[in-house]
Amino acid sequence: MEVKQFASAAVSPAFKVQDNKDFDERVINSKVPVIIDFFATWCNPCRMLTPRLESVIAEKQGKILLAKVDIDENTDLALDYQVESVPVLIAMKDGKVLERIVGLQDTDKLRKFVDKYVNNE
């Protein structure tokens, strides 16, 4: 049974944050670095960024996670992290914000951004 739990937990390094409690448990308390993707469903640049970012995160095989935060569903989190426009990406490790980038990014820039935190463990 333990193997099954491990397998289901390791299926995807990307997840959608449900609420503040979920954010605290899965992002703030994460043992690995996390990229937080603040987005909105109505945001076209967000829709272009998400598949690129998911692809880069998947390449890292669980060494970094992707937490997707819908700003319309989680306005408190957006305010807490001073998200004034979307998309915003925040790199976090051990509950501390390390870096933020704003706006649509190409895949190469995303890979460099993510690599800094995977290789810096």
Point out the residues that are catalytic. Answer: 43, 46
Please state, in angstroms and rounded to a whole number, the distance separating the CA atoms of residues 48 and 114. Answer: 17
Joined together, the tokens standing for residue 68 give 């997707």
Indicate the Cα dihedral angle 42, 92, 28, 58, nearest 10°.
70
Chain length of the chain: 121
Write out the E strands in the chain: 14-16, 34-39, 65-70, 88-93, 96-102
